[in-house]
Amino acid sequence: MHRKRPKLVAIALGLCLILCAVPALADGFPNNPEARSLVQQGSEHLKNKELTKAREVLEKALQIEPSSGLIHFRLGLTYSKLGNNEAALREYLASLELQPHIAVTAYNIGNCYQGLGDLDKAREWFEKYVREEPGDQLVPMAQQRIEALKRVAGKFKAANKEGPDYFDTLIADKGPEKWSQEKMPLKVFIDTGRNMKDFPKEWPAIMYESLQSWVQATENRISIVAVPNADQADIYCDWTTDARQLKANATGAESGHTDVEWAMSRKDPTRTRNLIRARVRILIIDSKGRPIDADSLKKTCLHELGHALGIDGHSGNPRDIMFFGESTSCLPALSKRDKATIQKLYSDQTPVKQQPR
Ligand SMILES: [Zn+2]
């Protein structure tokens, strides 16, 4: 008989919310009246989240006055929100050249590099920001991000970024972590949010769909069943509006957190950590206290549920849902590599017929 040694392990890193900071001063404001008016229109569009319109007017403004650091900055911000990190980076670098005293530019450049998966460069730029703008508003956040980047330094080798999956790097140090065949179907409890103010009633369904995406990726080697009672749950999911409740190694910049409990048989040569319970908590407001949108919610649910199903680590490719830190390059869906990774993790298990919800 195998002796089991229960242990608690916390998933250290949730998603980092990307803050795109906007300069407070009107540095580098264009001289040309038409360009100025276009910049103002661009700001309005940005405020209203009309990103394509913002891009159009700001690109036009830049044609009129290409030497305005502020236009480059605002365009960088727009591209970044549109998920085009290459273009955002180009604009921020141009802005920095023309208008070096927009303090947060270096921070935003760090963001772009992180979104592009170049974590060393991201760290360099966050460090530059802290060094050169020690009193600026985002310095505490930058310091937390530097620490988080240090923790993952060296983990993301080239193979991890571009290979068909990132399975090997997950199990390299610690061996696999997974739910065993006997645990299927996994009992899932999702809090309805009934006791929360203004909670969108469709969000539990987004959580369930996210879990279904992972189940499908394993071709039903994982199966799930919803249970009405939290006490019965293998996977317990709820919501919070308090970032401090995410605890973790808290960077204070995470949008979700997962705790897992597992046991390992001492005699198991594969050193598999068999999951016993997982608890997923999702932050439903952004860093400014506004409700997050459905796409951001889906990304966070997919990411945290990946941890709940045994992905104990992160991908180095910003197009994967399990990328370290939030990526604007990633869609609210599993990438091919995410799917291939979970498939490998559960490849030795038999597909189970899906239970009705
Ligand atoms: Zn994570």
CATH of the domain at 206: 3.40.390.10
Residue type, 36: R
Q: Does residue 197 belong to any structural domain of this protein? A: yes
Q: Give residue for tokens 């993301």.
A: 156
Pair (166, 133) in one structural domain: no
Q: Does residue 23 belong to any structural domain of this protein? A: no
How far is residue 218's CA from residue 351's CA, in Å, rounded to a whole number? 8
Pair (264, 210) in one structural domain: yes
Give distance in angstroms: CA of 251 to centre of ligand 1: 12
Pair (116, 37) in one structural domain: yes
Pull the structure tokens for residue 87. Answer: 């273009």
Output the pTM of the full model: 0.72
Residue type, 41: Q
Give distance in angstroms: CA of 278 to centre of ligand 1: 14
Give distance in angstroms: CA of 333 to centre of ligand 1: 15
Give distance in angstroms: CA of 13 to centre of ligand 1: 5
Give distance in angstroms: CA of 159 to centre of ligand 1: 19
Pair (260, 299) in one structural domain: yes
Q: Give residue for tokens 């772009």.
A: 112
Picking from 344, 342, 214, 348, the residue whose alpha carbon sits closest to that of residue 268 is 348
pLDDT at 311: 92
Pair (128, 237) in one structural domain: no
Residue type, 88: A
Give distance in angstroms: CA of 303 to centre of ligand 1: 6
Pair (321, 224) in one structural domain: yes
Give distance in angstroms: CA of 324 to centre of ligand 1: 6
Give distance in angstroms: CA of 97 to centre of ligand 1: 35
Q: Give residue for tokens 């987004």.
A: 206
Q: Does residue 26 belong to any structural domain of this protein? A: no
Q: How many Cα atoms occupy the beta-carbon half-sphere of 110 within 13 Å? A: 29
Pair (118, 164) in one structural domain: no
Q: Are 189 and 227 in contact (CB under 8 A)?
A: yes
What is the 3-class SS of 142-186, one letter each residue?
A: HHHHHHHHHHHCCCCCHHHHHCCCCHHHHHCCCCCEECCHHHCCE
Q: Does residue 243 belong to any structural domain of this protein? A: yes
- Residue 198 phi, psi dihedral angles, 5° rounding: 55, 35
pLDDT at 9: 32
Buried b (16+ CB within 10 A) or exposed e, 112-133: bbbbbbbbebbbbbbbebbeeb
Q: Which of 85, 104, 137 is the last residue before a domain boundary? A: 137
Q: Are 195 and 156 in contact (CB under 8 A)?
A: no
Pair (194, 128) in one structural domain: no
Give distance in angstroms: CA of 1 to centre of ligand 1: 34
Give distance in angstroms: CA of 71 to centre of ligand 1: 34
Give distance in angstroms: CA of 124 to centre of ligand 1: 22
How far is residue 66's CA from residue 63's CA, in Å, rounded to a whole number? 6
Q: Which of 137, 166, 192 is the last residue before a domain boundary? A: 137
Compute CA distances 192 → 171, 255, 339, whole Å.
34, 18, 28
Q: Does residue 146 belong to any structural domain of this protein? A: no
pLDDT at 8: 34
Pair (255, 126) in one structural domain: no
Give distance in angstroms: CA of 132 to centre of ligand 1: 30
Give distance in angstroms: CA of 305 to centre of ligand 1: 9
Give distance in angstroms: CA of 20 to centre of ligand 1: 21
Q: Does residue 24 belong to any structural domain of this protein? A: no
- Can you point out the beta strands (E) in 208-328? 224-226, 235-240, 256-265, 273-283
DSSP code of residue 19: P
Give distance in angstroms: CA of 61 to centre of ligand 1: 39
pLDDT at 250: 42
Pair (242, 304) in one structural domain: yes
Task: Return the number of other C-beta atoms located less than 10 Å from residue 304's C-beta.
Answer: 27
**Host domain of residue 286:** 4-15+158-345
Picking from 157, 174, 187, the residue whose alpha carbon sits closest to that of residue 310 is 174
Give distance in angstroms: CA of 307 to centre of ligand 1: 7
Give distance in angstroms: CA of 183 to centre of ligand 1: 23
pLDDT at 21: 53
Give distance in angstroms: CA of 264 to centre of ligand 1: 22
Compute CA distances 46 → 42, 54, 75, 169, 290, whole Å.
6, 6, 10, 39, 16
Q: Does residue 20 belong to any structural domain of this protein? A: no
Per-residue pLDDT of the chain (357 residues; tens, 9 = 90+): 333 333 333 333 333 333 445 544 455 688 889 999 999 999 898 888 888 899 999 999 999 999 888 899 999 989 888 878 889 999 999 998 888 777 889 999 998 888 887 888 989 999 999 998 888 888 888 888 888 788 777 666 555 677 899 888 777 767 889 999 999 999 999 999 988 888 999 999 999 999 999 999 999 999 999 999 999 999 999 999 887 777 554 444 468 889 999 998 888 888 899 999 999 999 998 877 888 899 999 999 999 999 999 998 888 888 899 987 766 677 899 999 999 999 999 999 988 765 555
Pairing of strands 186-190, 235-240: parallel
Give distance in angstroms: CA of 326 to centre of ligand 1: 9
Give distance in angstroms: CA of 300 to centre of ligand 1: 9
CATH for 45: 1.25.40.10
Give distance in angstroms: CA of 190 to centre of ligand 1: 19
Give distance in angstroms: CA of 336 to centre of ligand 1: 18
Give distance in angstroms: CA of 38 to centre of ligand 1: 40
Q: What domain count does the chain have?
A: 2
Pair (133, 178) in one structural domain: no
Q: Does residue 54 belong to any structural domain of this protein? A: yes
Give distance in angstroms: CA of 135 to centre of ligand 1: 30
Pair (133, 167) in one structural domain: no
Q: Are 249 and 12 in contact (CB under 8 A)?
A: yes
DSSP code of residue 228: S
Cβ-based neighbours of 104, under 8 Å, separated by 6 or more = 21, 22, 23, 129, 133, 136, 137, 138
Q: Are 133 and 103 in contact (CB under 8 A)?
A: yes
Q: Which of 107, 137, 167 is the last residue before a domain boundary? A: 137
